[in-house]
Structure 1
Amino acid sequence: MQTSSPITLDHLIGNKDVTSSSYAELRDPGRLTDIVGLIAQGDAATVDAAVRAAHEAFQSWKKTSYEERAALLRAAADLLEVEANAVVEIMARESGMLVGTNKAEIGMAANIVRDNAEAGEEFLKPMEVSDAESWVSVEKRPIGVIADIVPWNAPIILTMRKVAPALVCGNTVVVKPAPTAPIGLTLLLKKMAALFPAGVINVVHGGGDVGHALSVHPLVRKVSFTGGGTVARQIMKAAADGLKGVQFELGGNDPSILLPDANFDDAIPKILGGAFRRSGQFCFAVKRVYVPSEAYADVVARLEAEADKFRIGHPLDKGVTFGPINNRGQFEFLKGLLERTRASGATVRELGTVAEPDGWDNGYYMRPVIVSDIAMDAELVQIEQFGPILPVVKYDSLDEVIESVNAGELGLGSSLWTSNFDEALKIARRIEAGMTFINNVGTSRLGQKNIPFGGVKQSGIGRESSPIGLREYVEYHALNYHK
C-alpha cells in the first residue's frame, strides 16, 4: 500500500530547479512496493551546466570576507535545525534509518556547520614573519569548484563535512547525492542554497556516469568522496588526467578491544550501539569485538541478550528500533556473507523480534546477528561487513590481537575498553587507525570539534572536520618582500 505520493526531485543549478528527460524510481527499502521518489537523472551536459554555474559564482564568492561567509553558514546551521522535522520521515522512507537517528544526524550536521564557521576565523589568517632583510606572508586561498560525492548511510552529516569547510574557505560546490537516499539531503540543500548567492551550492543527481563526469570536468579542482574503495579508485584514476586533488573518507573494519579490567556493564551496551546503529551501516561502526578468554562466554551471552532487545521493522512503525538494509546489493552481499560464516562452523545467533512478520519479505530486512566461536583470520573478521553481523573473537594474547588488527589494509576507527588510563594510551598508540576511542565508540562533543576524522592505509586520503579538515579546501600563496 502506497503511504504517500512520490516526490519528484529535480537538479539544483544556480539556485533553480532543473528538470531532466529521465527520472528513476526510488523505492522504500522497508516497503519495496512503495515508490518514495522520482529522481532526476543527470548526464555530462547537466554536470557541465552545474560546474559552470559554480565556477561563475566562485569569481565573486571567493572575494567575500570570512565574516560574511561565516555568518551565512551560521544561518544555514540554524536552518537545518528548523527544517529537521520536515524531512526526517522522508529520510526514513528512502534510507531505512530510524526517524530519531535522522533527527540526531541533522542536529550533529548543524554543529558541524557551526564548528567550521568558527574554526575558519583563526585558520584563514595568514602567517606573517619578518626580519631585517625581508617580510614573508603565507596566505590561504580557495581552490575553486569542489565536487562532493556523498553516500546514502548518513547523508546530511557526511555532506556537511564537505560543504561547510569548502564554503567557509571561499570555494563553491556541486553535490552528487547517493541514488538511494537523495531526497532529504536535496530538500535541505535547496533551502540552504537560497541563503547563498546563486551557484554557490548546486546539486546533480545520477549514478556513476555523473560521478565520472564530475571527476573529469576541467573546471572541477578537487573531488571529495565518501564511500567504498572500489569507487574511490575509479575517481582517483579519472581525476588523474586533470591532476585534481582528491579527499577520500572510505571504509573501516573497526576493532573493539575489551581488556580484562574493563567495566563490562558500561561497555557492552555501548559496543552494541556502536555496532548496530543504522543496522550496522556506517563507516566507523564496531565491526569486530576482541574479548579475553576468561570473560568470553559471559561477554557473548551479554551481547546476545542486548541484541535480542531490538525490534526489527519499518522505521515509521511504532516501537521499531532496527530498520532494513538500504539496498539490494548490500542486502545480497550480507546474506551471502552470513551463509558462508554459518558454513564455516562458527556459532551464528540471529536475534531480535520481528515487528511485522507479514511485511518481512517486502523489505531488505535482517535480524541483528552475533557470531561467536570464530577465528581471528575468518572472512567476517577480516573484511568490512557494513551490516548487522558482529563477530566476537576470543584472545589470550593482546599482542596477537594488535597484530591481527593491524594486518589488514583498513584503519579508520577503533575502540578500547579499560579502567587503566596509562595502559589505554600505550595500547591505543599501537593500533594503526585514524582514531581510537577509549571507553566509548565515537567522539565526544569536544572530539567532534577537534578530531580530524579519517583513516590510514586504504581507509582514506586526507581528513574531515576540525581545523585540520579545513586544509583540504585551500591552496597556499607565499609572498616574500625584500626590504
Structure 2
Amino acid sequence: MDSPTPVLEETYADLLSEITPQEGERREILDPATGEVVGHAPVHTVDDLERAVAAAKAAQPAWAALGHERRSELMMQAADAIDAKAEALARLLSREQGKPLNGPNARFEVGGASGWMRAAAATPLGIEVVFDDGQTHAELHYRPIGVVGAIGPWNWPQMITVWQIAPALRMGNTVVIKPSEYTPLSVLALVAVINEVLPAGVVNIVSGGREVGAALSSHPDVGKVMFTGSTTTGKAIIRSSADTVKRLTLELGGNDAGIVLPDVDPRAIAEGVFWGAFINTGQTCAALKRLYVHDDVYDDVCEALVEVARSVPMGIGVDEQNVLGPLQNKQQFDIVDRLVESARVSGARVLVGGDPDRDQPGYFYPTTLVADVDNDNPLVAEEQFGPALPIIRYHHVEEAIEMANGLEVGLGASVWSSDRDRAREIAARIQSGTVWINSHGGVHPMVPFGGAKQSGYGLEFGVEGLKSLGVPQVVNG
C-alpha cells in the first residue's frame, strides 16, 4: 500500500499550481526557514484592484438578497472546504510564513480559520427593539455596508483574513482582500478554496504592493476597511480613508505588558507566560512583550522561564518535532537583533539565547530571555515582535501599573496571581482592550477583541464584530 505522504504532497502541489499565475508579472516567494523558493505570486496593479472592486460591487446586491440563513449555509460549506484541504493549506502556510506545522502554529491556524468562519455564520443577530411605549416603536437593524476592504498581516495570514471577511460575508457584504506582500500565497490559496463554494465576485483578492493597499483604502466604492498591522500603517489608512469617510476597524501594534504579583508559584505560571510571549515565535500583535515581575519572585520566575525556553524545539516548520520557527523576514530579524543588542550593551543579563547563528540559512533568532533591563530600554519601549522577552523587576505594584500604562499602545495585558480578586482589581487599572488573568493572548470567536489608545479601534468577534460590519438603521414608527 502506498504511503499517504505522496497523496498529501500531491494535494499541496495541486493547491500551489492552482494559485500560480500562468501569465503576467509574478515574483518569487521564499521560505524564511531555508531560503528555498516556495512558489510564485502574481504582482497585481491598481487596475487589477479596480476590476476586483467592480466585481465585488456588482455581486453585492445578490449576495445580500440571499438573506442571513442562506449566506450562513454557504459560509458553513466554505468552512467544510477549508477543512477538506487543511493539510495542504497548513503545509503551504508553514513554508511561506515559517511557522511549524505543530503546536499553536500552522495546523492550529487553519483550524482557526474554519472555526471562525463557522462562528460568524452561526452567531445570531436579530432585530433589537430599543423603545416601545405603546405609541412609538423603534427597532435597530443592521444593513450591509456594501464592499469591504480587508488588508491583512503576514504573521497569521489565513486566520486573520477569515477574522476580517467572515463577519463581512455574514452581514451581506462582499470583500476585496489585499494580503501582505510577505505571505500572499497562503491567502491566495485560502481564497481559492473558499471560492469553490461562494458565488463569483463575493470574495476577491488582489496581491500587490503598497500602492494597491493605498488605493483600496481610498477607493470610493469601498465602504469599510479592516486592517491588522502596524500603528504606522494604520495611521496612513486613517488618512487615506478620510475623504470618503470610510468605516474602519483597526487592530494595530501591541507591546503587551504582563504583571506578575508576588503571590505566584513561578513554576506553575512559567509555561503559560512562555507561550503568551512566544506563540508564533513572538510574532503576534497580542503576544506578551514586556514582563514586570515583583522582586520577591523575580529570580525564581526567571529560572522557571529559562527551563521552559530550553525545552522548546525551534527549527524548520515542516519538521514535525518543531514548535518554534524562524522570523518571517529579514527586516523583522534585524529589528529583534538590534533590540536585544541594545539591551546587552546597556548591561542587561541575557539569560538564554541572544546569539543567532548567522551562517545557517533562514531567519532563525534563538528564544531569548533578557533580565535586569531598564523600563526605558528600547527592547522594552519598542515592540520587538519576535522571540525576545524583557523581564523588568519592580518593587511596588503601583510602579508596575504605571510602567504597564506608560506606552501609547494598549492592545492586551495580563495579570498573574493566585488571588483572582486582587488580579481583577489591578486589571481594571490597566489601559488595554483586553486584560487576561493568569494567561495571555487567548482569543475566542464569541469574545469581543479590540485595542485601546494607539492599538486601534473597533471590535472584532461575536455579536459586536457582526455589528461592526453593518450600517445601523433605526426604523421608528
Residue 379 to residue 135, structure 1, CA distance change in 2 (3 Å): same
Residue of structure 2 aligned with 1:112, choices 102, 116, 128: 116
Residue of structure 2 aligned with 1:23, choices 22, 26, 34: 26
Matched, 1:415 2:414: yes
Match of 1:14 in 2: none
Match of 1:219 in 2: 221
- TM superposition shift of 1:19: 6.2
- TM superposition shift of 1:80: 1.9
Structure 1: stretches of 5+ with no match in the other structure:
12-17
Give 3-state SS (helix, strand or coil) of 1:247's partner: strand
Matched, 1:239 2:238: no
Residue 322 to residue 360, structure 1, CA distance change in 2 (3 Å): farther
8 Å CA contact 2:100–2:319 kept in 1: the answer is: no
Q: Please tell me the residue identity of whatever aligns with 1:477.
A: Q
8 Å CA contact 1:312–1:352 kept in 2: the answer is: no
Match of 1:72 in 2: 74
- TM superposition shift of 1:290: 1.2
Match of 1:406 in 2: 405
Q: What whole-Å deviation, never above 9, does each CA across 1:194-236 have from its counterpart, x for those lacking one?
A: 2111111111101111101111211111110000011111111
Provide the C-alpha distance between the structure 1 equivalents of 2:391 and 2:135, rounded to a whole number of angstroms: 64
TM-score by length of structure 1 reads 0.91
Give 3-state SS (helix, strand or coil) of 2:393's partner: strand
Give 3-state SS (helix, strand or coil) of 1:210's partner: helix
Provide the C-alpha distance between the structure 1 equivalents of 2:451 and 2:136, rounded to a whole number of angstroms: 40
Matched, 1:283 2:285: yes
- TM superposition shift of 1:130: 3.6
Provide the C-alpha distance between the structure 2 equivalents of 1:134 and 1:321, rounded to a whole number of angstroms: 59
Match of 1:251 in 2: 253
- TM superposition shift of 1:474: 0.6
Q: What whole-Å deviation, never above 9, does each CA across 1:146-166 have from its counterpart, x for those lacking one?
A: 000001111122111111100
Which runs of structure 2 are paired with 1:44-443 in the superposition (5 Å)? 44-100=46-102, 101-119=105-123, 121=124, 123-127=125-129, 129-351=131-353, 360-443=359-442
- TM superposition shift of 1:352: 9.9
Match of 2:476 in 1: 480
CA RMSD across the alignment: 2.2
Give % identity: 36
Provide the C-alpha distance between the structure 2 equivalents of 1:453 and 1:153, rounded to a whole number of angstroms: 17
Residue 392 to residue 128, structure 1, CA distance change in 2 (3 Å): closer
Residue 164 to residue 343, structure 1, CA distance change in 2 (3 Å): same
Q: Please tell me the residue identity of whatever aligns with 2:424.
A: L
Q: Please tell me the residue identity of whatever aligns with 2:460.
A: E
Give 3-state SS (helix, strand or coil) of 1:152's partner: coil
- TM superposition shift of 1:10: 5.0
Q: What whole-Å deviation, never above 9, does each CA across 1:330-367 have from its counterpart, x for those lacking one?
A: 1111111122111111112343999xx7x953211110
Provide the C-alpha distance between the structure 2 equivalents of 1:126 and 1:269, rounded to a whole number of angstroms: 44
Provide the C-alpha distance between the structure 2 equivalents of 1:201 and 1:19, rounded to a whole number of angstroms: 21
Q: What whole-Å deviation, never above 9, does each CA across 1:381-404 have from its counterpart, x for those lacking one?
A: 122110011001111010000011
Q: Please tell me the residue identity of whatever aligns with 2:334.
A: E
8 Å CA contact 1:128–1:136 kept in 2: the answer is: yes
8 Å CA contact 1:113–1:164 kept in 2: the answer is: yes
- TM superposition shift of 1:127: 2.8
Q: Please tell me the residue identity of whatever aligns with 2:411.
A: L
Provide the C-alpha distance between the structure 2 equivalents of 1:433 and 1:260, rounded to a whole number of angstroms: 22
Aligned length: 464
Residue 318 to residue 422, structure 1, CA distance change in 2 (3 Å): closer
Q: What whole-Å deviation, never above 9, does each CA across 1:162-187 have from its counterpart, x for those lacking one?
A: 11100000000011111111222221
8 Å CA contact 1:312–1:353 kept in 2: the answer is: no
